[in-house]
Structure 1
Amino acid sequence: MPRFASFREFYPFYLSEHSNRTSRRLHFVGSCGVLALLAAAIAQGNGWWLLAALLCGYGFAWVGHFFFEKNRPATFKHPIYSFVGDWVMFKDILAGKIKF
Structure 2
Amino acid sequence: MAAAPYHSFAEFYPYYLAQHGHRICRRAHFVGTTAAIACLAAAALGRNAWWLPAALVCGYGGAWIGHFFYEKNRPASFGNPWWSFRGDWLMYWQMVTGKLSW
- Scaled to the shorter chain, the TM-score interval is over 0.9
- Aligned ranges for residues 1-100 of structure 1 at < 5 Å? 1-100=3-102
Partner SS for 2:63: helix
In the aligned structure 2, how far is the partner of 1:64 from the partner of 1:35? 18
Q: Unaligned stretches of 5+ in structure 2?
A: none
For residues 14-52 of structure 1, the C-alpha deviation after alignment (integer angstroms, 9 at most, x for no partner) is: 000000000000000101001100000001111110000
In the aligned structure 2, how far is the partner of 1:24 from the partner of 1:54? 17
AA in 1 matched with 2:100: I
Q: Unaligned stretches of 5+ in structure 1?
A: none
AA in 2 matched with 1:22: I
Q: TM-score, normalised by structure 2?
A: 0.96
Q: TM-score, normalised by structure 1?
A: 0.98
Q: CA RMSD in A?
A: 0.5
